[in-house]
Amino acid sequence: MNYSELAEAVKNGDNILAVSLAQDLLQSGATIEVIIENGLTDPLNELSSKCTTDDFSLFEIMMAGRAMMDVMELINKELLEENCISHKGKIILGTIKGDIHDLGKHIVNIIFTLSGFKVIDLGKDIEPKKFINAAQEHKTPFICISSLLTPTAIYAREIKDIAKKQNLNDIIVLAGGVGFEHASKEYLQVDYVAKNVFDGLEYILSIVEGKRDG
């Protein structure tokens, strides 16, 4: 199956071609995991250097982001039609304070929703305290934080501290995104650091299904 054509269309910001290629891939039986990794995440990661060099093109990155989100919408629609949504619980999600990257967070939202969770998406650049407030308001232990910027680790570390001060000992913090993925859970003071969205989902599912303690 040809994922490189899809990746190229996303990189070029050609959303119409990207959606049509993704449709072909889905029809030929490609898995969502592989479409997301090879067709969507990889091309955006390839644009990486544009964020730090003189070659920086916000327009190019935003167009690629739009193509990616249009493909995600298609995947979302297909799965909703298949009626595979159940109800497994609520999850608080947000990009941590100091960071405005949110394309990856949107993917996490979609994958977790499709897997049966009600996702409360707080948005981006979110204060640690707000995650705790939302978890209390929605009566859920699950907080998922996303970051693509390594210096935001200082804010990730605050979440469990705030919870402890309020005697909220059941709060479970899952960290993900390239800003966190090389850090240890001890360093970030979280319960788990996900290698990718599906690894994070497995972790939450294993707790919900009683296979692992929080």
DSSP code, position 108: H
Residue 205 found at the interface with ligand B12 (CB under 6 A): no
For 94, the 3-state DSSP assignment is strand
CB of 198 to ligand B12, least distance (A): 8
Give whichever of 36 and 132 is closer to ligand B12, judged by the CB atom.
Answer: 36
Q: How far apart are CA 33 and CA 29, in angstroms?
A: 12
Select from 6, 174, 190, 207 the one that contacts ligand B12 (CB under 6 A). 174
Three-state SS for 77? helix
State which residue, 51 or 84, has the beta carbon closest to ligand B12: 51
Stretch that binds ligand B12, among 16-24, 75-83, 132-140, 171-179 (CB under 6 A): 171-179
Q: Which of 1, 19, 47, 162 binds ligand B12 (CB under 6 A)?
A: 47
Amino acid 113 reads: T
CA 79 – CA 74 distance, rounded (Å):
9
- Is the Cβ–Cβ distance between 59 and 65 less than 8 Å? no
Using the rule CB under 6 A, is 156 a contact of ligand B12? Answer: no
Among 6, 105, 132, 155, binds ligand B12 (CB under 6 A): 105
Cα 42 to Cα 55: distance, rounded to the nearest angstrom: 19
Q: How far apart are CA 40 and CA 22, in angstroms?
A: 10
What is the closest distance, in whole angstroms, from the C-beta atom of residue 18 to ligand B12 in the complex? 14
Bridge partners, 145 (sequence order): 94, 175
Instruction: Provide the binding-site residues for ligand B12, judged by CB under 6 A.
Output: 36, 41, 44-45, 47-48, 51-52, 58, 61, 65, 98-105, 107-108, 144, 146, 148-150, 174, 176-179, 194, 196-197, 200
